[in-house]
Amino acid sequence: MFSGPLAVLGAASLTLVTLQAPVAAPASAQDAPPGPAQRVHEPPRKATVTGRGGAVTSVDPYASRIGLQVLRRGGNAVDAAVATAAALGVTEPYSSGLGGGGYFVYYDAKTKRVKTLDGRETAPAAMKHDAFVDPATGQPYPFTPDLVTSGVSVGVPGTPATWQAALDRWGSMPLADVLAPAAALARRGFKVDKTFHQQTDDNAERFNAFTSTRKLFLRHGKAPKVGSVFRNRQLARTYDLLAARGMGAFYRGALARELARTVRKPPVRRHTDLPVPRGRMRVKDLAKYAVVQHRPTHVGYRGLDVYGMPPSSSGGTTVGEALNILERYDLKTMTPAQVQHLVIEAAHLAFADRAKYVGDQSGVPVGTLLSDTFAAERACRIDPLHAFTPPVAAGDVTASDGSCATPSSRSGSGPDTEGVNTTNLTVADAEGNVVEYTLTIEQTGGSGIVVPGRGFLLNNELTDFSAVYDPADPNRIEPGKRPRSSISPTIVLRDKKPVLALGSPGGSTIITTVLGIIVNRLDLGMTLPQAIAAPRVAPSNKATLSAEQAFLDQYAAALALLGHTLAPAGAPGTSAAEIGAATAIEFGPRGLLTAAAEPTRRGGGAAAVVRRR
């Protein structure tokens, strides 16, 4: 309960993290907004930088600059990660923010251990198994726009609790100081770029459906112009409130009541034709929310230790299983097309097992899924000269002995409804601590609903549940449950020291983006910037492979000869045609850091180091 402490549920015990006592908001958070003559400049974007003393990389230059400033002022990696995430809530409000959730993976340099926080959203206690079924028709609501743009799709947010839990456990600065730069940014404003304008315009119908969202994001019903300054004083005031009272103010009191009321009765304008199904969230759902701390997933790969996020995310198990399968092959001796063939097949197999076995429930066979024995069994399905036809069946975890056994009869495939516009950040400090953090509100713009006067959008994460209830489905809708995610924050160690930290947004394509970067860097000898920039494909146990156009240009002909069917991802020339938007840090000799982000995807990311090389 949030009546004092913030609960963090551990794997074996319940740990209580004390909330910040009320303090006055810092002076910087109270700065008046700039006058009309004051200009707002976007910081420079550099996709790759090298140096020492700490590093930050994200999709956004304002956010990366704030994280870097925290490091330079003596904050550690956790302080900088939360400050960067809070800034992304200002500049990337359609991908992240207080109304969402995420997964936080932390390497502690003192203990040389990797730890995790599951800040995924939860279903309200009154959530019904048929919540996604239209009572008027008896059929599931159309995913877009009906189910996405709704109160019923909103899960209890976990992001504020994640920030508080991370700071209380591993941070060195108080919450008020960490939130102050983002509050100041929200007041001062940022320069609207093409991505922000386009995302707003793409969501104009949904945003116009709500009085609060239209007021905040649409000026006279239209998206803000490229080059204009966007300010969010509502969000600044919300950050001030949380800075003064701690994150308990989000989960109880006036803000919690407003949030729950907004979910149950969205502020719909009379002029919209969207149905906007109502949700069932209550204040008690917010008060009961707890961050969960799990042991990370772990596999060995080429002599390295790869740590990831366990369920409720499927990222760690699916990336790990695919790596275990690929470790059976000497990829360095193969042609590029042969490597891609094996990566695709390994991903199909791992996705099949993900669909059958992984969800937010007890008894997920993580140990078996990540065992070399099971990987050997699954690799038997792969023919180096010919592709199998997806969907391939899941393996049988109850009879795994390493032999080429008959797979389970149940197909491991289903519709993919995960949103692609999540966001990711990577941070390292001078002491060697590392954070890999992926946070989201699901679709671009989440549910489309802004909590009136509070400046942030609510998520639509519950659409990640399977729409039709099946008692045998590990991702079935249940009250209090967390929907399965593909988020894959990953930290790679050698001899208990960091080698690489990476993650990406992109819905189910997160898994294959992270997998591909690891293979590119560790097996194929690419530099980290090359590994990130390389063209991508997104196998997920479906008959047709979605791929970027550059991937099709390079590999389509050769892969077609092996029996693969490929198609371009999204519409040409749009952000949907891109897969992922990764960030990563590589750890070199004598403290040298290579911080990298996308050179072009989503407009290019922003990397920064404390001391340039």
Distance of alpha carbon 18 from alpha carbon 7, whole angstroms: 8
Tokens of 297: 């997933």
Nearest to 349 by CA among 374, 312, 384: 374
- For 261, list phi and psi in degrees, rounded to 5: -65, -40
What one-character-per-residue DSSP string does 254-315 give? HHHHHHHHHHHS--B-TT-----------HHHHHT--EE--PPEEEEETTEEEEE--TTBSH
Distance of alpha carbon 498 from alpha carbon 304, whole angstroms: 10
Cα atoms in the 13 Å half-sphere on the side-chain side of 363: 7
What one-character-per-residue DSSP string does 352-367 give? HHHHHH-SSSTT--HH
What one-character-per-residue DSSP string does 9-24 give? E-SSSEEEEEPPPP-P
Look up 398 and say whether it is catalytic: no
Tokens of 113: 């251990």
Neighbours of 507 (CB within 10 A): 24
Tell me which residue has tokens 């959203």: 121
Q: Tell me which of 297, 422, 423, 426 is the catalytic residue.
A: 422
Residue 354 and residue 318 in contact, taking contact as beta carbons nearer than 8 Å: yes
Residue 308 and residue 486 in contact, taking contact as beta carbons nearer than 8 Å: no
* Torsion sign over Cα 46, 194, 439, 303: negative
Tokens of 84: 């960067």
What string of H, E and C letters represents the secondary structure of 230-247? ECCHHHHHHHHHHHHHCC
As a residue count, the chain comes to 613
Angle at the Cα of 505 from the Cα atoms of 503 and 508, rounded to 5 degrees: 105
Distance of alpha carbon 133 from alpha carbon 598, whole angstroms: 39
Residue 602 and residue 581 in contact, taking contact as beta carbons nearer than 8 Å: yes
Residue 413 and residue 391 in contact, taking contact as beta carbons nearer than 8 Å: yes
Tokens of 332: 């360095």
Neighbours of 117 (CB within 10 A): 25
Tokens of 331: 């990829």
Nearest to 192 by CA among 398, 40, 337, 13: 40
Helix orientation angle between 549-561 and 336-357, rounded to the nearest 10 degrees: 90
Tokens of 313: 């995310």
Helix or strand holding residue 597 (H, E) = strand 593-597
Distance of alpha carbon 506 from its chain centroid, rounded? 8
Neighbours of 401 (CB within 10 A): 9
DSSP class of 239: H
DSSP class of 252: S
Neighbours of 111 (CB within 10 A): 9
Helix or strand holding residue 344 (H, E) = helix 336-357
* Catalytically active residues, by annotation: 422
